[in-house]
Structure 1
């Protein structure tokens, strides 16, 4: 499927070497993450310097995938975009790339095919879950793939899925969905129990109550998790944190 037909960038030939404007195209995607997470400019200090640009590119890719899965009232454009991404990630394993994020990620020794094969599970997670357990369960296959990638990118070697990291990855994904679509992310049981309380606030409280420990998650994941929890505590999942709050939360996350 042609990327340009889905508002993706026009596919770049080969591996993109020497393509004019590739760096600008990459920056435009990274800026989308920076706009949603301005805290990153402050808290990246808690991530090893050699991992910061990589962490930013990886977080941007996850944002692209989850926005496609959960955004919009009509699921079909997102489904098409995820199908495009599955094809793109398979290409990365063969040394090819079309998307600008491939400039930062494609050549790294990560199991991109694992992520590609998990995208249907992310697509299916668009359905409203029954309860919190169902919400976590629906994301488990995708969280597994994310754990595999993060272990490869940030631990220096591919060691297979880090099962202890999967719950905190799932929690971060559920937070992202709440921040992106609001009460549409809440499970059916939360809707039933919310009463006069705003549904999004009720679901935020449930997420906080059941937030899993960091376990052996990578440093970037622990920092992202801490920021998500701090935003939930302040009462607005989509509202950026003040710098002092972001620094304190990220410091605690990095130490956990």
Structure 2
């Protein structure tokens, strides 16, 4: 009994890490009960673990080591049941065994491939560079929620857009990293250096707003793509696009992004409810 309690606490710790990044998902959990759908929640927490390794570790060799561990873990989990608490929950579900092994490995391989990427030349290149990792995560998630026949096209687009938006709000902190949240052409057009990204200015405001305009145009285009969204992905996308719209209308777009928006109000609950209804309709 003590061991089960300890395992549950460890598992909850990984879920809490995911919720710390996406606090609006606490509302979604009212419609995706973790006791009935533990794998759905575990998969979201696994995605956050992989993204943390891909983007949150500044030493490339440390990131490679962690991602290599995940590659070994996911490659052997179907046979062993897994060693990590999240993997154990996932591979205790028949869904995990119905998903092709290359879908499990694809996000890890894509994460390793993008570790050495520098700043993109323009928005299109930036989007294409981020797509392999976030598209692979979206493909795995779509197969888990809806089966292998469901298209991940829309989920891949909005997952990539949410990543680029999150990267943008960290502009000041990441101004010295090799991979900047703003493309090089955008910096050149507005005459911005890395140092100038740390302080508010009219040039920075215009560059951030131009980035938001590109993100929002791509978000609007996502509605025409095929494929369903998980409840978590739908809420994440709605939350991100609304935040981008609000920031684009303000005099300090970056400050608005960093402040975020309420995630526990009636609007969020309604969005989660609509996403959950769409999920259940897709399965019926």
TM-score with structure 2 setting the length: 0.69
Give the SS at the match of 2:185.
helix
- Kept after mapping to 1: 8 A contact 2:134/2:160: yes
Question: 1:94, CA displacement in angstroms?
Answer: 2.2
For residues 119-149 of structure 1, the C-alpha deviation after alignment (integer angstroms, 9 at most, x for no partner) is 2322343422222211221233334432331
* 1:58 corresponding residue in structure 2: 43
Match of 1:222 among 208, 216, 234: 234
Question: 1:247, CA displacement in angstroms?
Answer: 3.5
Question: 1:237, CA displacement in angstroms?
Answer: 4.0
Distance 1:76 1:160, change over 3 A: farther
* 1:148 corresponding residue in structure 2: 139
Give the SS at the match of 1:232.
helix
* 1:158 corresponding residue in structure 2: 148
CA distance in 1, matches of 2:84, 2:148: 23
Tell whether 2:107 aligns with 1:122. no
Question: 1:29, CA displacement in angstroms?
Answer: 0.8
Give the SS at the match of 2:204.
coil
- Kept after mapping to 2: 8 A contact 1:57/1:101: yes
* 1:6 corresponding residue in structure 2: none
Give the SS at the match of 1:130.
coil
Give the SS at the match of 1:241.
coil
Question: 1:50, CA displacement in angstroms?
Answer: 7.7
* 1:177 corresponding residue in structure 2: 167
Tell whether 2:64 aligns with 1:79. yes
For residues 76-106 of structure 1, the C-alpha deviation after alignment (integer angstroms, 9 at most, x for no partner) is 2222211111111112232331222113212
Tell whether 2:243 aligns with 1:231. yes
Match of 1:213 among 214, 222, 236: 222
Question: 1:238, CA displacement in angstroms?
Answer: 4.9
For residues 7-58 of structure 1, the C-alpha deviation after alignment (integer angstroms, 9 at most, x for no partner) is xxxxxxxxxxx66722111111111111222211224445588876433322
- Kept after mapping to 2: 8 A contact 1:172/1:225: yes
Q: Flag structure 1 segments of 5+ consecutive residues without an equivalent.
A: 1-17
- Kept after mapping to 2: 8 A contact 1:144/1:161: no
Give the SS at the match of 2:85.
coil
TM-score with structure 1 setting the length: 0.75
Distance 1:31 1:50, change over 3 A: closer
Decide which structure has the larger Cα Rg and report it: 2
Q: How many residues align?
A: 238
Question: 1:253, CA displacement in angstroms?
Answer: 6.0
- Kept after mapping to 2: 8 A contact 1:151/1:159: no
For residues 210-239 of structure 1, the C-alpha deviation after alignment (integer angstroms, 9 at most, x for no partner) is 224244232322222112222333434454
- Kept after mapping to 1: 8 A contact 2:142/2:155: no
RMSD: 3.2
- Kept after mapping to 2: 8 A contact 1:182/1:200: no
* 1:9 corresponding residue in structure 2: none
Give the SS at the match of 1:98.
coil
Distance 1:92 1:114, change over 3 A: same
For residues 154-174 of structure 1, the C-alpha deviation after alignment (integer angstroms, 9 at most, x for no partner) is 11x322753343222322332
Q: Flag structure 2 segments of 5+ consecutive residues without an equivalent.
A: 192-202, 248-255, 279-284
Give the SS at the match of 1:101.
helix
- Kept after mapping to 1: 8 A contact 2:81/2:88: no
CA distance in 2, matches of 1:176, 1:39: 14
Question: 1:68, CA displacement in angstroms?
Answer: 1.2
